[in-house]
Amino acid sequence: MKHLQNGGRPVSGWRLRLRQILFESETPAGRRFALVLIFSIILSVVTVMLDSVDAVQQTHGDLLYALEWFFTLIFTLEYFLRLVCSGRPLRYAASFFGVVDLLAIIPTYISLLLPGSQYLLVIRILRVLRVFRVLKLAQYLNAARLMVQAIQSSYRKIAVFLVTVMTTVVVLGSLMYVIETPDNGFTSIPRSIYWAIVTLTTVGYGDISPRTAPGQLLAIVVMLLGFSIIAVPSSILSVEIFQAATGRAGARSCPACNAETLESDANYCQYCGTEL
């Protein structure tokens, strides 16, 4: 939180104390508060879930309604306290957790006008991600960082992959629409594309499935294609995680020729011979 203290308005007295509790989970008080908070979040999400189950709603509807408002008011109070005690309220409000904290309370108020929207409260579950910060799981954060890094350095390959898959799926789905005709459940091209994705990803609901012989033949092609390309993101990620884990990700580029695959322990650029 150093950036807040340095960059924000100086706070003192009860505000400083409050900030330690709300934001600084390394302090004992902050840690206790964070644990209580996470417990409340999970409880409130379970409340919302139970509220959606018809049988429970009919017997304990009032209790659940009361609990929902209870948690919402608590979280609203917490949100305003965070705004007040943070040196830079706007910065907090615009941060990832600031937005999530706000989204976690709004649906209850909207549900007064628009019944049903209270189910969106489950977005509160995102607040649980704080758990990584609270428990100071440096090792877990390292693991997460490694994976994020692997995904980042492979996002171009994954973009190429997804564009290719999407193009393929549009063509195959349309072909299936022409082959099977709406009589066999392929009622439109978008729906046929939906089928193609269901099949390619090997999900296979079976809500739509080809009935004619040519349709089944095309389905076989889609399946074998899916079976083969399911390997592609896996392979890409494997290589990236491997490189991230063994430090090849720390590859440098040559200042002279800009070649970018230099091993982290190289002394000379392997393309132009410049000493590094």
By CB under 8 A, the residues from 63 to 92 that bind a second copy are none
CB 245 within 8 A of CB 142: no
Q: Is residue 237 near a second copy by the rule CB under 8 A?
A: yes
Q: Is residue 260 near a second copy by the rule CB under 8 A?
A: yes
**Site residues (CB under 8 A) for a second copy, limited to 111-130:** 116-117, 119-120, 122-123, 125-126, 128-129
Closest distance between a second copy and the C-beta of residue 130, in Å? 11
Closest distance between a second copy and the C-beta of residue 145, in Å? 10
In which residue are the tokens 């890094």 written? 149
Closest distance between a second copy and the C-beta of residue 23, in Å? 22
Q: Which residues does 84 contact at the CB level (< 8 Å), separation at least 6?
A: 15, 18
- Smaller CB distance to a second copy: residue 63 or 224? 224
- Smaller CB distance to a second copy: residue 6 or 55? 55
Closest distance between a second copy and the C-beta of residue 203, in Å? 4
**Site residues (CB under 8 A) for a second copy, limited to 131-170:** 131-132, 137, 139-140, 142-144, 146-147, 150, 156-163, 165, 167, 170
Q: Is residue 247 near a second copy by the rule CB under 8 A?
A: yes
Give the sign of the dihedral formed by CA 158, CA 162, CA 168, CA 172: positive
Beta bridge partners of 252: 262
- Smaller CB distance to a second copy: residue 27 or 187? 187
Q: Is residue 16 near a second copy by the rule CB under 8 A?
A: no
- Smaller CB distance to a second copy: residue 62 or 207? 207
**Site residues (CB under 8 A) for a second copy, limited to 176-205:** 177-178, 182, 187-191, 193-194, 197-205
Q: In angstroms, rounded to a whole number, what is the distance separating the alpha carbons of residues 233 and 150? A: 12
**Site residues (CB under 8 A) for a second copy, limited to 94-113:** none
Q: Is residue 59 near a second copy by the rule CB under 8 A?
A: no
Using the contact rule CB under 8 A, the part of the chain among 28-36, 52-60, 61-69, 82-90 near a second copy is 52-60
